[in-house]
Amino acid sequence: MSFKEGRDGALAVHTDYTFVYPVVKATTGAGEVTRTVARRVIDIEVNDPRRFRVTPGKLALTSYNANFGNAACEVYDGFLHPQFADGRPGAVASGPAVDPYDRSKEMTEDSGSGCGTVTRT
């Protein structure tokens, strides 16, 4: 997380976080534990209400990018759907193999395109 002076003197805040969710099936006797990895890059600005017509205390979202590893492809219902070894296969992977923990590359709007295979969970 970092901050700097943004446009017109606003406070610009940049966040880049990786969340790791350990999950297990919600069935009796389920033993396999896996992880779903979510990387979220969010940029916001806080404008000065004395200089601009804004609601005091509210943030202005300027950019949002997210990438998910070990989650079902082509499912857009607001939930993460982890993949288990004994589960039904989802959509066929069409993107490149990706290490979901690799933070060496900047995330762009198209960096999450395709449904790739994670190299590790």
With a CB cutoff of 8 Å and minimum separation 6, the contacts of 5 are 11, 12
Collapsing DSSP states into helix, strand and coil, what is residue 23?
A: strand
pLDDT at 119: 84
Residues 100 and 80 sit within 8 Å (Cβ to Cβ): no
Rounded to two decimals, what is the model's pTM? 0.77
Residue-wise pLDDT tens for the chain (121 aa)? Answer: 999 998 888 899 999 999 999 998 888 888 888 899 999 999 999 988 888 888 877 899 999 998 888 888 888 898 888 888 776 555 556 677 888 888 888 876 655 556 777 888 7
61-76 core/surface letters (b: 16 or more CB in 10 A; e: else): eeeebebbbbbbbeee
User: Using CA atoms, how far apart are residues 83 and 53, in angstroms rounded to an integer?
Assistant: 46
